[in-house]
Chains A and B, each alone.
With several copies, the nearest count.
Chain A
């Protein structure tokens, strides 16, 4: 199938049709199957074709005729129908952009990743005090603002997450260090000034260099994290 998907621009020099040699049954089948509102079975087709026509053979011939075309003749159970070639399904889509606001949970997780990176899912949960739903991390990965950057050298070797350059550009930050620290957060009133003395806000860094307690990602990790439908973090079962 993949080979059909190749983009080829090749000159057609010889007519692929040998005109005239094509049995009329094929034209009739073509028209019937094209216009039918639902797949048709062989018996229904035979009823419409001239007496004595070999419907089975004609269908097979037609299927072969269309095998390499943008439209294929496919059998669905015992019935036949024209369908867009599988490899062109992408063509049958219209892409639109819709603006979505991140959920509160996603923003919270994002904020923790930004300040505490590199950080594992378990650590995020520890800070937030709630379990992070898979969907939340998926959405964040989809934004392209976070990325899995390594694996923590601890049992289970969980993925560590960090922010990306597009995170910086989304939030108009020149560098991650521009994220306000404790004093600035207090100054803007976002943090209560009467917080316990032990309260600290880390000085965040998105230095891509792995930390001492990080291992590099493994080959499969990125695909895993990019495929929206797949659990991005699955430390227990490395494939």
Chain B
């Protein structure tokens, strides 16, 4: 029964209600939220419990309200007119004796249903009112005005793979070696260093000795061998030229032997090969 009033617009007339000479009724649709609201307002005028309300009287009130509104050409929303039609129908059903084989709800049942709708609307309005009077947040009760922030502590979980690690290690070691040409020079024996060392060695080498062996035992770090050999050989040649040392090598790349030159006036020059050692 409610279906017929649902699909209408609620656009209510904005025109102010002109005061009519109708004594009891002030036609003021503007204040009502639809026909049920109007019916409820009218029902209140009966000043009885809604459960005991006379639907017949209510229908009369409503219909005369609508009549009055139409008389002053107030445009009523369709909802109100549909309700009026339905109430007129209900009124006639209530006044006429019930047919013996009635189909659908009886007039009494329809009236009760209407009364219940009104009661329900009234009840929900009362509930709404008491809801609104409850202590409301930010009106009556307040939360912490200055909430404190929860600080987020991030625990890093680090990731790295063995590949990252090895790549990094290899790359930087390699880069360092290849890029350190000038540093390699720093570890080169200077001629003076080599000569000083050889002079020290030669001081004890009365017999022929292998230079290689001496150098091997002297140079612990294999990375320095090449430079030690080169410098020592050059220094040795110098010492030979000065006549302090004899060198001998039996064939190319063979070990080089040296000894302190025995004190002899003769200038039988020691044979120094032209082949330098590696």
Q: Could you tell me which A residues sit within 8 Å of B by CB distance?
A: 1, 4-5, 7, 31, 34-38, 74, 81-86, 89, 92-102, 104-105, 107-108, 110-112, 114-115, 122, 125-131, 133, 139, 142-143, 145, 169-173, 179-182, 184-185, 188, 190-192, 195-199, 201
Contact = CB atoms under 8 A, between A and B. Distances in A.
16 contacts: A7-B153, A35-B145, A36-B150, A84-B142, A96-B154, A99-B138, A101-B159, A102-B158, A108-B125, A108-B169, A111-B131, A127-B176, A130-B33, A130-B36, A180-B127, A192-B178
Contacts of B134: 171-173, 180
A158 B177 CA distance: 26
B116 A196 contact: yes
Contact of B169 (A82, A86, A115, A196): A115
A1 B126 CA distance: 48
Nearest to A192: B174
A104 B119 contact: no
B121 A196 contact: no
Interface of B: 2, 5-10, 33-37, 79, 83, 109, 112-113, 116-117, 119-121, 123-128, 130-132, 134-162, 164-174, 176-179, 184, 221-224
Contact of B165 (A5, A100, A107, A182): A107
A89 B139 contact: yes
A185 B79 CA distance: 27
Nearest to B226: A197
B144 A108 contact: no
B155 A98 contact: yes
B69 to A, nearest CB: 17
B93 to A, nearest CB: 17
B140 A190 contact: no
B158 A100 contact: yes
B141 A89 contact: yes
Q: Is the interface of A mostly helix, strand, loop or mixed?
A: mixed
B176 A128 contact: yes
Contact of A110 (B2, B79, B128): B128
A200 B138 CA distance: 38
B145 A111 contact: no
Nearest to B122: A190
B160 A172 contact: no
B167 A95 contact: no
Counting chain A CB atoms within 10 Å of each CB, the highest count among B10, B159, B164, B221 belongs to B164
A182 B36 CA distance: 22
B6 A126 contact: yes
B140 A114 contact: no
Contacts of A86: 135, 140-141
Contacts of B126: 181
Contacts of A128: 33-34, 36-37, 121, 172, 176
A142 B156 contact: yes
